[in-house]
Amino acid sequence: MISGRVNADLEAVIGLTVVGPRGQQHNVQATVDTGYDGWLTLPSAVVRQLHLRRRGRERGALADGTEILVETYYAMVMWEERQRAVVVDMTGDVPLLGMASLDGYELTIRVVEGGAVKIVSLASP
């Protein structure tokens, strides 16, 4: 199980460790974004610090419908005490955890400040 807390802005936030190709690590506080269909977004400074390997560019759409080109990268995240490969979209200042990361999991959010955020594998007994 992965756990986090709801912040004062009523955003569900979890801590993640992102691992670069040379084993370097960076801890981020990622906001769960159910409107984002990707894996994870990271700011450019974190992508550079971890020396993530570039994947390419993809078209994306912002919440207001604006289309953008997004640089994508390969990374690993510590997920349930194991490394998990993810695609990172380099965008914005706040790391976002998207729905692709939650495929096969149940997300529970107690939407009050300080409320529990739980991500549980559907394959768990």
Q: List the chain domain ranges.
A: 9-103
Say what percent of the chain tops pLDDT 70: 98
Distance, CA of 57 to chain centre: 18
Q: What is the mean pLDDT of residues 65-78?
A: 90
- pLDDT band, very low/low/confident/very high, at 115 (cuts 50, 70, 90): very high
Give the per-residue pLDDT at 91.
87
| Three-state SS at 49 | helix
The pLDDT of residue 125 = 60
Average pLDDT over residues 22-38: 95
Contact 53, 21 (CB under 8 A): yes
**Whether the predicted pLDDT of 102 surpasses 70:** yes
- With CA atoms as reference, report the closest residue to 76 among 41, 44, 108, 52: 52
pLDDT band of residue 96 (cuts 50, 70, 90) is very high
- Burial class of residue 38, CB neighbours in 10 A (0-12, 13-18, 19+): buried
CATH number for the region 9-103 comes to 2.40.70.10
Q: Which residue has the tokens 């409320």?
A: 115
How confident is the model over 100-115, as a mean pLDDT?
97
